[in-house]
Amino acid sequence: MPPTADDYIDINKVAVNPNAGGPAPGRGASRGTFTSRCGTNANGHHNSDNFIVAPGVTNGAHHTHDYVGNRSTDGNSTNESLAAARTTCRFGDLSPYYWPVLRRLGTEAGDAGAPGGGADGNVGPLIKPSSVSLRLRGNARASVAAMPRFLRVITGDAKAVTNGPANARAQWSCVGSGGRTTTKYPLCPGGRGVQRILDFPSCWDGKNIDSANHRAQIVFPLSSGRCPKNTTAVPQLRMTLTYNVPPGKSFAVDSFPAEKHNPLTDHGDFVRQDRRPPPARLCPARLCTETGSATWGRGAGGSGGPVSAGGRSRRPCCPHPSGPRW
């Protein structure tokens, strides 16, 4: 069943979200950022599995995922198989990053009878993202610790219609919309790209890489930006997916059949799997702030460091998120 007309909204009718950028940094904030460059799934890595919530199950998601990063990811993935795989990311980031595909409505595609495709009510050619931004950022109230290897992190609820909105985190927007975000599909003016903004939880329990509901091990900060009691701030992933879509109410996100392609069900997943060593030395937070968004390269002592616009490492380097403190 396709989305309803009410699932779409003119972005110009959406109010500016004053919290779109998150809480303002306070004293003690970690202001550094780090971008992992992993491409746009040019190699066509798709399946309808989800090894985090349905390990060992083929078509466990009943909708198709786009993947970047780890090239082996499927329903049978394990920590060991992820560690042995290749990646689409630069500088050895083996983390799998994935999200449900967008489709162009009104015509069938090659997977019309396939699981995760037409057999599960997901019909239409896939729309490839024009850009994928994977940006890790600090905490507005505290320094951040390293994410543990193999930490499972999910955002949003693929069953938000059935379960209710408690875990929904959908944010839809348009390029250049000035901070307007909505839980509906945005109709963007003048051919501007549609954007999906997925913010991930970033307050880790300090012990576990997974939990029974796949959420308890890492939760969202409070509205102030501070992490809840008995949790530790780790870098927060903001995934921004941009698409050139056909005009009008002509696109929809893949979903479980019962969710009827509701835009509120948008969600994303990743597993932190980085084989790079931490940097040889850490540096004052102000240097990360002054450098701005850092691209990871080779730094002092043969370890990673941020690369400037000219492609040369700065010294001392800003700590990589896999290091002891960031």
How do residues 120-130 score in pLDDT, each as one tens digit?
999 999 999 99
Q: Which residues contact 242 (CB under 8 A, 6 or more apart)?
A: 129, 130, 131, 132, 133, 175, 193, 194, 195
Residue 27: the pLDDT is 86
Express each pLDDT in 188-206 by its tens digit: 998 899 999 999 999 999 9
| Whether the Cβ atoms of residue 38 and residue 97 lie closer than 8 Å to each other | yes
Give residue 158's pLDDT band: very low, low, confident or very high (50, 70, 90): very high
Residue 22: the pLDDT is 84
95: how many CB neighbours lie within 10 A of its CB? 25
d(CA 182, CA 179): 10
* Average pLDDT rounded to a whole number, residues 53-78: 98
Burial call 215-232: b when 16+ CB within 10 Å, e when fewer? bebbebbeeebbbeeebb
User: What contacts 24+ positions apart, CB below 8 Å, involve 79-82?
Assistant: 79/150, 79/273, 82/150, 82/271, 82/273
| Whether the Cβ atoms of residue 147 and residue 93 lie closer than 8 Å to each other | no
Residue 90: exposed, middle, or buried by beta-carbon count in 10 A (0-12, 13-18, 19+)? Answer: middle
User: Nearest-CA neighbor of 233 among 102, 107, 142?
Assistant: 142
Name the 3-class secondary structure at 180. strand
Strand partners, 251: 104
Give the strand pairing for 293-298 and 33-36: parallel
Lowest mean pLDDT among 64-73, 194-203, 248-257, 280-289: 280-289
Question: Taking the model in full, what pTM does it have?
Answer: 0.87
| Whether the Cβ atoms of residue 242 and residue 193 lie closer than 8 Å to each other | yes
Give the strand pairing for 65-69 and 96-100: antiparallel
* Average pLDDT rounded to a whole number, residues 165-181: 97
d(CA 220, CA 166): 12
58: how many CB neighbours lie within 10 A of its CB? 13
In this model, does residue 48 exceed pLDDT 80?
Answer: yes
User: Nearest-CA neighbor of 158 among 8, 268, 9?
Assistant: 268
> What is the sign of the dihedral through the CA atoms of 188, 190, 193 and 195?
negative
Residue 199: the pLDDT is 98
Q: What percent of the chain has pLDDT over 70?
A: 84
HSE-up (13 A, CA, CB side) for residue 283: 23
Q: Is the peptide bond before 316 cis (omega within 30 degrees of 0)?
A: yes
Q: What is the DSSP string of 214-276?
A: SSTTEEPPPTTSPPPTT-EE-PEEEEEEEE---SSS-EEE---GGGTT-GGG-EEEEE--B-P
Express each pLDDT in 31-45 by its tens digit: 888 999 999 999 999
Give residue 24's pLDDT band: very low, low, confident or very high (50, 70, 90): confident
Q: Which residues contact 94 (CB under 8 A, 6 or more apart)?
A: 69, 70, 82, 83, 85, 87, 273, 274, 275
| Cα 151 to the center of its chain, rounded Å | 14
